[in-house]
Structure 1
Amino acid sequence: MSAPSAREVAFETVRAVHADDAYANLLLPKLIARAGLSTADSALATELAYGTLRRQGTYDAVIAAAADRATDRIDPVVLDALRVGVHQLLSTRIASHAAVNETVEIVRGAAGRPAAGFANAVLRRVSRDTPGDWMARVESSARSDDERLALHAAHPVWVIRALRRALAAEGRVDELDALLAADNAAPRVMMAALPGLADVPEGHTAALYSPFGFLAGSGDPGPLVRSSGGRLRVQDEGSQLAALALTRARPVADGERWLDLCAGPGGKTAILAAEALAHGARLEANELVPARARLVRHALAGVPGEIPVSEADGRERAASSPGAYDRILVDAPCTGLGALRRRPEARWRKAPGDVPALSALQTELLDAAIAALAPGGIVAYVTCSPHLAETAAVVGDVLHRHGDAVAQLDARAVVQDVALRPIDLAVPTDGSGRAQLWPHRHGTDAMSITLLQRR
């Protein structure tokens, strides 16, 4: 049996995302390695898988029109193959005949000859018109301007509205189109050299803002990570700045006790551990999900010393140690709307109904963390989402209930002090000290950073 092609690897990734709730950014590198793809074919598989997942909503509208039936009436295996095929036809320079023929062969192998005939008819129908013609056709069916924008920018309507409100809270709603475009652009791979334990390797371009961030070179960064013993690691620049906002919000006193309350998968934990080691603090980590706790332990392998990682509900973990910690990171579970560049399928997985439960959990975690702070202690509340219900609303609710016992610090000023150069951080219209990073403005995930201090 021959090794899978780049198109087959892309199809297998897309299929696993929909059938098994797989994460493309975790699965795809494994499938590429298993298939032994060349550098060029690895790049093709990545573009096909990520591009298909990013623009899934738009491609589904095209497929429904070309097939003259709703996508929920198409076999899921065939639908995923069609999505990959349509991406090739509408968004790449791959020759139409190659895109059609290769996709039909994938369908034949996965679903049989009749399904292959159906796929062939749909793809040939798509190939007869230009991408512009298809966009005009599907957009003409939209019932509102937001639906039209959703098809054009390949974001669910509810996500577009949430992002618009988040930008409006900074008085910058005119940046919406730039933000949506940034979500659909493949980000360059950013890495971190753990502070005090590694330096940025020669020949690599330093990050714009993080003092220990740098751009990975072309190709797989895995060998560089492995050869460094984990002291060089892949990590978004926004995540690096969020961790540093906590560790450098004020000078560290010797013997401070720190807690990473929701540590998985461990990228920020590794930075906290390196900073704690450099300044004489003691770090503890906690992660509820055992598989993610294992990732945290793996992430900490490059930091000398023993760092305990507990596996408990963060609310209970914090409640077990009232007044014990000088700094706590609450990197809360969230919708992930700030990481749509790197997790393209995330926009289609969440729904508006997910937000209330998440914001309630975020509020409870932040409440518990505040109770676990020593007097004068600082908690960094971080979400990889700019959704106001997960950021401003959670913080506002917590501050209202805690009254004078908790003060909000100026996270923007802290991030400015940490950054290598001036960084454009808008002042929210509510006057809070929250720092909001953006992919279109800063080249980072849309990370929200709030610093609270227990009086």
Structure 2
Amino acid sequence: MSDRNPRNRAPQRRPDPVRRLAYQVIRQVNGDDGYANLALNKALRDQRLGGRDAAFATELVHGTLRWQGTYDAFLARSVSRPLADLDPELLDLLRLGTHQLLRMRVDSYAAVSEMVTLTRSAVGQSRSGLVNAVLRKISQRSLDQWITAVAPHPDEDLPGYLAIAKSHPRWVIDAFANALASDSNELEALLDADNEPPRVTLVARPGLAEVDELVAAGATRTRWSQYGAVLQGGGDPGRIAAVATGRAGVQDEGSQLVATALATAPLDGNDTKWLDLCAGPGGKSALLAALVNERDGKLTAVEPLKHRAELVRSNLRAVPGEHQVLVGDGTKPTWPAGWYDRVLADVPCSGLGALRRRPEARWRRTPADIKELRPLQESLLESAITSVRPGGVVAYVTCSPHPHETHEVVDAVLASRGDAVLEDARELFPGVPSLGAGPDVQLWPHVHGTDAMYLALIRRT
């Protein structure tokens, strides 16, 4: 059959493959509750995209998801019906086009034309007219002009203004403001840091690799972690031999710092039995296992989900020793009370401290999630304290700065028992500034360049 119709019009253009890939990943995230980093990495591998095409696809996906709330506010002014009445597939196409028009150096004519072509391919010819009209309307204003037109004035409603200007849900902004207890300038700096693409940070696992090996492969040393290096210019960390063989891994500097703090906390007596109570996917487990090897010890890693336990085993594959991975519920220990010398309780949390690397999380989480996670967090901390011997230490860790997930959990658990005390953890972060009033520690993206990791150090008495 001919590609031309009876009137001999030119055959329809095919959509740009990079934009099509980005749209398909966004649909996996928004339509199927996928994770942006996993879905994108798989798509790039499957399509064998690299270099500039991979970078373009990454910005399309992460940028569109990161700024989704802001774009929805603009689109609500540009579409003649409520956004809730639009098909999700069509709304994601509009978001993807808006991102190119307002935050990427894409010619407006090209951006609209490419999105109309993609619309025809993805959802049909009948929707292309709406996409064309709406995106042309979006292109008539700059990002700042749209913010001025849509957002409330900051003097009248600062959280409402920031929700649109910085693309965070209002409840998250309120929680961050509560945790910072500081001026609005610091709050804005944190929101800006959340909107910056994260660096690829590597960890050289002690006894297996040296940071110098990562530096020789093109990385630079991290500011605070003695085991860390930043991969310059992004790229695939798997091309580095130490990472490919498991002697090094990808791990945020904040995660390295809290694991190292647990390992270096003063301890009298035996120091050979360590426990990672909530181990998946296993990055901290691998660092702790390498560190306990230096003391001829053994790590036990516990993870309730079978597939995540396999990820822990994969992370531990290069670390020598008889380290053990258990599939089980950390709130129901199968080991004797007081069995371990050091325990890490890196509890499930909202993940609000890692919004830089999980752009979809800010729209997926709700205040109800914070409330629902609280009993589990308290139960895991109770179990961790019971599992450590007298004189031993527990690190309670979350990748969230939300007070309901951090010090309020610690305060509630310690108030219910008389056999544990909170110790000052700040001295375990040598050279790292601005750790908070203590005795616990809060890291911040806008201050430390890390995820917003929280650590409380608890000693069993």
The TM-score bracket by the shorter chain reads: over 0.9
Q: Is structure 2 residue 449 aligned with structure 1 residue 454?
A: no
For residue 198 of structure 1, the aligned residue among 209, 212, 220 is: 209
The aligned residue for residue 300 of structure 1 is 316
User: Bigger CA drift: 92-101 or 437-446?
Assistant: 92-101
Q: What residue identity is the alignment partner of 2:118? A: I
Q: Is structure 2 residue 64 aligned with structure 1 residue 41?
A: no
The aligned residue for residue 412 of structure 1 is 426
Instruction: Flag the 1:41–1:182 CA change in 2: closer, same or farther, 3 A.
Output: same
The aligned residue for residue 56 of structure 1 is 68
Task: Spell out the pairing of 1:164-179 with structure 2 (5 A cutoff).
Answer: 164-168=177-181, 171=182, 174-179=185-190
Structure 2 SS opposite 1:310? strand
Q: Is structure 2 residue 126 aligned with structure 1 residue 117?
A: no
Native 8 Å contact 1:328 1:380 kept in 2? yes
1:159-191, Cα deviation, whole Å (9 max, x unpaired)? 0000000001xx566410100000001121111
Native 8 Å contact 1:5 1:35 kept in 2? no
The aligned residue for residue 81 of structure 2 is 69
Structure 2 SS opposite 1:389? helix
1-structure distance, mates of 2:102, 2:177 = 27
CA shift, 1:13, in A, is: 1.4
Larger radius of gyration: 2
2-structure distance, mates of 1:248, 1:75 = 53
TM-score w.r.t. the length of structure 1 is: 0.93
Relative contact order, higher structure (CA 8 A, sep 6+)? 1
Q: What residue identity is the alignment partner of 1:412? A: R
The aligned residue for residue 159 of structure 1 is 172
2-structure distance, mates of 1:398, 1:240 = 25
Instruction: Flag the 1:2–1:309 CA change in 2: closer, same or farther, 3 A.
Output: farther
Q: Runs (4+) of structure 1 moved beyond 4 Å? A: 1-4, 140-143, 171-174, 225-228, 251-255
For residue 364 of structure 1, the aligned residue among 363, 376, 379 is: 379
**How well do the aligned residues superpose, as a CA RMSD in angstroms?**
2.0
Structure 1 SS opposite 2:459? strand
Q: Is structure 2 residue 245 aligned with structure 1 residue 217?
A: no
CA shift, 1:144, in A, is: 3.4
Native 8 Å contact 1:193 1:199 kept in 2? yes
Structure 2 SS opposite 1:377? strand
TM-score w.r.t. the length of structure 2 is: 0.92
- Percent identity of paired positions between Structure 1 and Structure 2: 47
2-structure distance, mates of 1:22, 1:382 = 25
1-structure distance, mates of 2:89, 2:223 = 42
The aligned residue for residue 248 of structure 1 is 264
The aligned residue for residue 427 of structure 1 is 436
1-structure distance, mates of 2:356, 2:151 = 23
Q: Is structure 2 residue 408 aligned with structure 1 residue 393?
A: yes
Q: Is structure 2 residue 393 aligned with structure 1 residue 378?
A: yes
2-structure distance, mates of 1:353, 1:136 = 31
Native 8 Å contact 1:255 1:280 kept in 2? no
Structure 1 unaligned segments of length 5 or more: list them: 417-421
User: Bigger CA drift: 236-245 or 110-119?
Assistant: 110-119
Q: Is structure 2 residue 159 aligned with structure 1 residue 146?
A: yes
2-structure distance, mates of 1:252, 1:45 = 52
1:277-312, Cα deviation, whole Å (9 max, x unpaired)? 111121100111112111111111121133221111
Structure 1 SS opposite 2:209? coil
The aligned residue for residue 246 of structure 2 is 230
Q: Is structure 2 residue 300 aligned with structure 1 residue 287?
A: no
Native 8 Å contact 2:298 2:322 kept in 1? no
Native 8 Å contact 2:202 2:248 kept in 1? yes
The aligned residue for residue 5 of structure 1 is 17
CA shift, 1:254, in A, is: 5.7
Structure 2 SS opposite 1:295? helix
Structure 2 SS opposite 1:69? coil
Q: What residue identity is the alignment partner of 1:397? A: A
CA shift, 1:226, in A, is: 6.6
Task: Spell out the pairing of 1:123-142 with structure 2 (5 A cutoff).
Answer: 123-140=135-152
Instruction: Flag the 1:427–1:129 CA change in 2: closer, same or farther, 3 A.
Output: closer
CA shift, 1:207, in A, is: 0.4
The aligned residue for residue 419 of structure 1 is none
